[in-house]
Structure 1
């Protein structure tokens, strides 16, 4: 029996908490077949990013074509793309694939380390975001992309409108950095959903954004609608944050395996 196939196009996290590693763990936990196109290699641990090296565009293209042309794909998720050249190449590849696309416009790491060249922001806005089924920026990435600074829940709608102006079908503004309850806004400019979850007193949240975007892509690959996929993904990530654990001297990862004991299709 075939499984839904999900492709992540992102950077490698040597510490295993975010990036390609988090994406593949999430896909396994949610019952889909995960595949990868590595765009960059990072030296990274619980305290930060010590180095990052982007791969040649030719290597990115070859990985993508190798997987899609033989195995096929039901959804694509993008994460760290590093440079304008890689953003443009990935946008071109995705445009010809014709499946749901989740764009996590990764700009900075959990520790504040830059993961996207300033010169790549324009390519992200004009080439990749218009192809997104769902874009999932956090508040720092909203500010990077649009100049809109979100300081309260009341600002989420303005932030969403600014990101939607670049062309994604839906946007999920992640409000996890706001005080109080963890609230995200999902909207396509017409329909609007405020997704709330209790805030867990746990500092070990490395990989949250990668995990959420990969979970959304996994649920879209199963055939769920965008609102259904995002709700299921937020449920999964909330559990993963609650179960996050200490690792190394800094911020530990969320627990991608917390839900392995339940039916992957369960709400």
Structure 2
């Protein structure tokens, strides 16, 4: 046995994690990852059938799961849902604000409806979910909050004016809450990935010219995969990051280094 018990730094046994946008894609994989690290998981998304499928997978890992169907644009329902999760598990240790949306279009074509939809899901729902969770974390003087930002919070790109604005807001919100809740030992951080290869983005990368341009901007020469986020998620959710707050960890293959 080595000098340090490394596994203990990343052990989430019996902790409760909330993952939004958990029915598929990145959110689904994050939920399963945290369960594999020992956490019980509350799943939030709009698709009931897909949520229940993820819930069954979590329970196969020997962890408890609570799937909750919620459209996060209905912000007046968020507090009630968080209260329900707390009542069910008796604690909330980790919040992963993963739910998000992107509608790529030139700035001159952005409608009020699309702007509001992007802001409501990517930014407004994150604030009010975090606010509701923070109340319970402050009672225990401990908590880990991870917001999903993007490399587009730091660089410009075509057809993403609304999306980039929302993610820039996430990065700044992360800093503000980190300062405000530091006395309560609540770590608030964000994760900023590059383009990720998932079933949902597959159609986007069927445009070879677009794919080539993206790859030319990533020094490591490939698109990210969901599992490329796993190390950062476990780190920010665990005791290993107890002295880290207000930071946005960029997982971009070097895109923002240019």
Q: TM-score, normalised by structure 1?
A: 0.41
Give the number of the structure whose residues are more often helix, by fraction.
2
Structure with greater Cα Rg: 2
Give the number of the structure whose residues are more often strand, by fraction.
1
Q: TM-score, normalised by structure 2?
A: 0.42
